[in-house]
Amino acid sequence: MTLSDFVSTASYISLCMMGVAIVLAAVRLIRGPSLPDRVVALDLISILVAGATAIYAIASGQAVYLDVATILALIAFLGTVAFARYIEKQVSQ
């Protein structure tokens, strides 16, 4: 499957934008200040990586990468839920 210049340019631009977004989220991950802030940032990073993977599926022409994106979204959800429970447990003790 050949990729037109148009779509491939669009996919590279999108990948760059995702990269910037991930860096921004990482800034919040490092800065905090509270634990929930970091959890939200981490959750956003995993979602953004999933999005970048989906874009890469288009850029590389391999639909399998979509499955990777799905799994990443799943893991992001599980991780966030686990963190939320952990934060809430921490308070009640």
Partner 1 sequence: MNEALSAALMIVGATFALLAGAGVVRMPDLFMRMQAATKASTLGIGCIVLAVAVHFGELGVATRAVATIIFVFLTAPVAAHMIARASYFVGVPLWEGTIIDELRGHYDRRTHRLARPDDPYAVLPATVDANRLAGHVVIVGYGRVGGRIGSALTANGISFVVIEDTREIVEKLRESDISAVFGNASEPSVLVQAHLHQARMLVIAVPDTADVRRMVETARTVNPRIEVVVRTHRDEELTSFEKNIAGKVFLGEHELAATMTRYVLEHYAARSDD
Contacts of 19 (CB under 8 A, 6+ apart): 52
- In whole angstroms, give the CA distance from residue 77 to residue 81: 6
33 cis-preceded (ω within 30 degrees of 0): yes
Mask: binding to partner 1, 21-40, rule CB under 8 A, as x and -? xxxxx-xx-----xxxx-xx
CA quadruple 83, 72, 20, 5: dihedral, nearest 10: -170
68 binds partner 1 (CB under 8 A): no
Q: How far is the CB of 74 from partner 1 (least distance, A)?
A: 7
- Residue 78 CB neighbour total at 10 angstroms: 10
Q: Of 2, 60, 67, 93, which one interacts with partner 1 (CB under 8 A)?
A: 67
Where on the chain is the footprint of partner 1 (CB under 8 A)? Answer: 4, 6-7, 10-11, 13-15, 17-18, 20-25, 27-28, 34-37, 39-41, 43-44, 47-48, 50-51, 54-55, 57-58, 63, 66-67, 69-70, 73-74, 76-77, 80-81, 83-85, 87-88, 90-92
